[in-house]
Amino acid sequence: MTSPLPVSERLGSHIKRAEQALNAAKLAAVKPAGLTVAQYAALLHLDEKPGISAAALARLCGVTPPTMNTILKNLQERGLIDRTPHEWHRNVLEITFTDEGRTVMKAADRRAVRVERALADAFTDDERATLADLLDRCVTLLDETRD
């Protein structure tokens, strides 16, 4: 039986291939710093929002809270982050960088930024804006479809 929509015409296949290629390039970039892409993403968001909770970090990184707890446990065991009880909410652990964690994050980010810049440089300003808009439309539509 022939599929009613060939794989070559399925946008999801193209988006998935792009995501896989980006993840592979990012892994190659952050691996010398001893990080996975998921660990790097967590540190990147932590750098932007010091003291963030694990639940909020999980939402930003697009992973489940149990997955984020595993990521954070591994980062903490490596001495890259600290998790301490929040001053007012004792059941919430605030996440902060250690000095080594900040050094590792900066080293990984320098390499990851090269990937992002190379990707951005492949498009004109208008094309980048259009691509971002189109991907945002995909996300919006897919979120609505799921609900």
Could you list the mean pLDDT of each consecutive 10-residue stretch along the chain, which spans 147 residues? 79 94 97 96 94 90 94 96 79 87 96 97 97 95 87
pLDDT at 1: 59
Entry pTM: 0.86
pLDDT at 38: 95
According to the 3-state scheme, what is the secondary structure of 80-141? CEEEEECCCCCCCEEEEECHHHHHHHHHHHHHHHHHHHHHHHCCCHHHHHHHHHHHHHHHHH
What confidence tens digit (pLDDT) does each residue in 67-106 have? 999 999 999 999 999 988 777 766 778 899 999 999 999 9
